[in-house]
Amino acid sequence: VQLQASGGGAVQAGGSLRLSCAASGRTFSSYVMGWFRQAPGKEREFVAAITWRGGNTYYAKYVKGRCTISRDNAENTVYLQMNSLKPEDTAVYYCAVAPETFVYSGYDVDAVDYWGKGTQVTVSS
Whether residue 35 contacts residue 69, with contact meaning beta carbons closer than 8 Å, is answered with yes
CA distance 1 to 13: 34
Q: What is the average pLDDT across 49-68?
A: 95
Q: What is the average pLDDT across 92-100?
A: 95
- The model's confidence at residue 120, banded by pLDDT at 50, 70 and 90, is very high
User: What are the φ and ψ backbone dihedral angles of 89, each rounded to 5 degrees?
Assistant: -85, -5
- The model's confidence at residue 7, banded by pLDDT at 50, 70 and 90, is very high
State the average pLDDT for the chain: 94
Determine the pLDDT at residue 26: 80
